Amino acid sequence: MPEPRSRFDETFPCEFYTPAELFEPDLLYTIPEIARLLQGLEPDAEIDADTEAVLTDWAVPWVMVHSEDLVIAEPLAEEGPGYYGVAPEALDSDPDRENDPDDER
C-alpha cells in the first residue's frame, strides 16, 4: 500500500552502480552475487534466504537496465546459473576507470 511522503523523515536519491563500477573486469558473477555487490557486500557473503530473495528482486532489473554494458556466459553445468560480467567496451567508456591507478588494463 502506498504511503504519504510525510510519514518518512528523509528520502535519498536512488542511485546504482554501473557495471564498470561494480564488477572486477576479469570476473563473471551470478545474479545472487550481483545482488550482494549492489548492497556493498562481498559476492560470497552469507545472508538468509529471505534477504537474498529481496536483494535478487533488485538485481534482476539492474541487469536488464544495464544489459548493453554486460556480457553473459552459459552456465558451467546443465542446471547451473548464468554468469554476467562487464563488457570490455563499458570499461573503455567509464571515465572513473581512466584515472584509476589500480586498473590493470
CB 59 within 8 A of CB 40: no
Q: Which tens digits make up the pLDDT trace of 57-66?
A: 989 999 999 9
Mean residue pLDDT across the chain: 89
> What are residue 71's DSSP bridge partners?
85
**Domain positions in the chain:** 17-93
- Rounded to two decimals, the pTM is 0.77
Torsion sign (Cα): 65, 45, 98, 26: negative
- When the candidates are 3.30.300, 1.10.10, 1.10.1760, 1.10.150, the CATH number that belongs to 17-93 is 1.10.10
